[in-house]
Chains A and B, each alone.
Chain A
Amino acid sequence: MTLSTSQLEQIQVHIEKYLNVPGALLPLMHSIQDDLGFVPEESYKPISKAYNLSVAEIHGFVTFYHHFRTHLPGKNILQICRAESCQAMGSENIENYCQEKLGIDYHQTTKDNSITLEPVYCLGNCACSPAIMINEDVVGRVTPEKIDQIIKEARES
């Protein structure tokens, strides 16, 4: 996809903001993703120029971290915890239920663009397993009924 001029300008603002910050790449990428919803590959070149790094280094950085994505996700991000504590409380059923209900696999987005499904390895809500996170809200002791409600709200949002 091609970025709009205003998106490119936004990226430039972020780039300049962290120029003198030590360890700038982490806060820089967060700030681009918070703003645009993803870190577009088109941003690599201006970043590499401003920070005197190669495009390969930027690409290597972005793709190393699970949190950063290089494509625009759906309007809502549904993360399902796959770690041991949630497994012990039946998270596999929740995974299957979500995938079936949404008709997508992990790292995919529903056709109506409302939900992107992602796995996550521990939300730190292990005393309330199984857990999921919808955008920035954690939901504990998830049941298929709760999932129905979350999906419904996400589709209406």
Chain B
Amino acid sequence: MSYKIFIPRDSSSISLGADKVYQEILNEAKKRNIDINIVRNGSRGLFWLEPMIEVETSKGRVAYGPVSISDITSLFEIEFFLGNTHPLCLGITEDIKWLKNQERLTYARVGITDPISIDDYERLDGFKGLKNSLKLTQENIVKEIADSGLRGRGGAAFPTGIKWKTVLDAPSEKKYIVCNADEGDSGTFSDRMIMENDPFVLIEGMIIAGLAVGADQGYIYLRSEYPHALKILNEAIAKALEKNYLGENILGSDFSFNLEVTRAAGAYICGEETSLLESLEGKRGMVRYKPPLPAIEGLYGKPTVVNNVISLATVPIIMDKGASFYADYGMGRSKGTLPIQLAGNLKQTGLIEKAFGISLRELLYDFGGGSATGKPIKAVQVGGPLGSFLPEEQFDTPLDYEKFSEIKAVVGHGGIVAFDDTVDMSKMARYSFEFCAIESCGKCTPCRIGSTRGMEVIDKIKEGVDQEKNVSLLRDLGDTMVNGSLCAMGGMTPFPVLSALNYFPGDFGLEKTET
């Protein structure tokens, strides 16, 4: 009989040696004449345990991790393929507390199957949302998405249903669906995990979006730093075409939709939707003035839905289980779940999909297990490089768009980066300006010049030059950038800078500052 073993194939697990572990297990099984069947599944997102391998047993899947090549002989000796105990054994995968305490809706399939097996996708409820949608009118699909309360998961949290309605109502022969897969925020990898571990859910979401608004062409604008995701997406698109989920007259309907992946080229600013559209059109990724909104005049001047990967990948489950199923999760106006990414200096890093409302403290300590270095956590940055730094006294804030906004912070794309007490927050503030200077598109003055001037002012404060005057200048500069920039790049860079200054004045050589 053949034993079924799961070894992840996503780029993070591979970055920790999953391919070598796979090869070694194959070799060892051959040597010992053991018949094994290896499935290269996606990662479950418990990255401190990767490479985490699983075996199928009558009790369910049993996990072992983190496995290194030197563990393989001993694993075979105890016959791990039967689910036997071993120092690396983590028990039944589904019972691991970290996984058990999540609410995986968008990520329901992630880590379970071979990402590019369309049969597995269908078997695990895949394309049910599309099949339901094909029976509905466009207005009713859009209504379902609006009723679910889904908001843009890229960071801006704009209601997805309203965006779709605007595109649906815009009269035009040609419309586009653009997926923003330019996931450039540090501390975020949830888009990559969807694309590498369950690409069909994104494809299905885009098809439904096309059906809902009347678009026949979709583009996935994928960052060039994700070569692995590019391969997987292209393989998945080819399979979906073969089975007529894409192409002409999808599943016998009169709806046709084509999808392609466009490789970006390493510009952070192209995660901003109008800059992304310029780039897709083959131009420099310079931010556009708004209005007109992309929903009215987007790609090539046509009405365009620009949605983040997670927003689109959440559409299938809403169309499968219904708007109220999804809206029952969450709190206040933050409905549903958010894929939270724990990164930086934490013992247990990875992906947690949870209903809105969980506190930072629960995430950092219950899930994250505290800092990796064992030192106190001094600050966390939530929502990428443009998000505020938060000190311990803010750790009880529940993850909710409005609650975060009240403390001048953002949930953004759900990335959380933790720093221990060795971090110099003035250095982080300076880095925020440096990053802005490197990545600014240069179109508006506050962002282009303010970022460089900001670095200089921080240097002066740290050198002790006219501190009072320079702190006030820094605040004034922040105000100019927030109110005078065209987009969030310049408009939000002051968030991390000023939060670092306000919460950690000591790191700037200041006693205290007026906020």
Contact = CB atoms under 8 A, between A and B. Distances in A.
Interface of A: 22-27, 29-30, 60-61, 64-68, 83-89, 120-129, 131, 133, 136-141
Interface string B375-400: 00000010001000000000000000
Given A67-B265, A89-B344, A124 B281 contact: no
Interface in B154-194: 183-189, 191-192
B205 interface: no
B495 interface: no
Contacts of B15: 125, 128, 131, 137-140
A61 B279 CA distance: 9
B162 to A, nearest CB: 27
B435 interface: yes
A85 B16 contact: no
Contact of B265 (A30, A83, A122, A128): A30
A123 B187 contact: no
Instruction: Report which residue of A61, A86, A124, A131 has the largest number of chain B beta carbons within 10 angstroms of its beta carbon.
Output: A124
Counting from the closest, the 5 A-B pairs by CB-CB distance are: A83-B186, A126-B343, A65-B265, A67-B266, A88-B344
B282 A84 contact: no
Interface residues of B, number: 62
B66 to A, nearest CB: 10
Instruction: Report which residue of A25, A64, A136 has the largest number of chain B beta carbons within 10 angstroms of its beta carbon.
Output: A64
Interface of B: 11-12, 14-16, 45, 47-48, 50, 183-189, 191-192, 223-228, 262-268, 279-285, 300, 341-345, 349-351, 372, 381, 385, 415, 417-420, 423, 428, 431, 435, 438-439, 441
A119 to B, nearest CB: 9
A88 B263 contact: no
A25 B266 CA distance: 15
B184 to A, nearest CB: 6
Contacts of B265: 26, 29-30, 65-68
Instruction: Report which residue of B14, B283, B381, B385 has the largest number of chain A beta carbons within 10 angstroms of its beta carbon.
Output: B283
A24 B282 CA distance: 6
Contacts of A121: 184, 186, 268, 435, 438-439
Given A65-B265, A83-B385, A138 B14 contact: yes
Contacts of A68: 265
Contact of A26 (B12, B226, B262, B441): B262
A84 B186 contact: yes
Given A66-B265, A124-B226, A22 B186 contact: no
Contact of A127 (B226, B350, B385): B350
Given A83-B385, A84-B344, A126 B280 contact: no
Given A139-B15, A141-B16, A66 B349 contact: no
A83 B417 CA distance: 10
Given A66-B266, A67-B266, A121-B268, A126 B16 contact: no
Contacts of A84: 186-187, 344, 381, 385, 417, 428, 431
Given A26-B262, A84-B417, A126 B225 contact: no
Contacts of A139: 15
A120 B266 CA distance: 9
